[in-house]
Amino acid sequence: MLKRTLLVFTVTALCSLKAVATTVLPVSLQQLSSTAELIFYGTAISNEVRLDETSHRVATITTFAVIDVIKGAVGATHTIKQIGGQLPDSRVRQIIRGVPRFRIGAEYVVFLPAASSLGFSSPIGLSQGRFSVVQHNGETVVSNGRPLTAMLEAPPTTNLGSTPQAAQFSLAPALSALPGEPASASLPDFLRAVRAMTGE
């Protein structure tokens, strides 16, 4: 039920052509880890905006060079298709606020659902499922902009009880924010915690 709910929010945001903004409920790191079909750490190496032949919508195609796979199966590169963008040499554009974009050359940890029937796949929870990886004071850190304490708290409507999910979460290594950086964590610590949360 949880996975279905998260996917509904993502699909709704992707398919709403007239929307100028999207509203997505907060998603915990545990939920991102357990519901994602694919989690990887990689570098964005290309962005292409084109009119998608399948959906006849403007789409942005982003390809990543995969550095590490945390969950799922993927090759040396992975490509995702997201709705929106501006066609090159054209005034035609479609902007869906909330759909994350990726900067070429930047590194990310990405949490993805299975692609839709039209081939679209945005991160789970939109920007919540896109973690930027940067260097900070000589350390590799990761952040999606949300305070880590908020991400580690399951939403109040979620009751994990004594389910296998709850057991996985309780066994996950402790994950702490960097001093003075409440939204950032050490990349190695983050990846270890996410791997434990996936149960793989």
Residue 19 CB-half CA count within 13 A: 15
Domain boundaries, the chain: 2-198
Per-residue model confidence (pLDDT) at position 28: 93
Among candidate residues 148, 125, 123, the one with its CA nearest the CA of residue 42 = 123
Four-CA torsion 149, 150, 151, 155, nearest 10 degrees: 130
Tracing tokens 């570098």 back to the chain, one arrives at 43
Per-residue model confidence (pLDDT) at position 19: 43
Sign of the C-alpha dihedral, residues 152, 156, 157, 163? positive
Instruction: Identify whether the C-beta of residue 108 lies closer than 8 Å to the C-beta of residue 130.
Output: yes
52-64 CB burial, b ≥16 within 10 A, e <16: beebebbbbbbbb
Among candidate residues 133, 179, 115, 127, the one with its CA nearest the CA of residue 151 = 127
Averages of pLDDT over each 10 residues, the chain, 200 residues: 44 42 79 95 96 88 97 96 84 79 97 94 95 94 93 59 47 77 95 89
pLDDT tens digits along 94-108: 777 889 999 999 999
CA distance 96 to 18: 8
Which of left, alpha, beta for 96 (phi over 0: left; psi -120 to 50: alpha)? beta
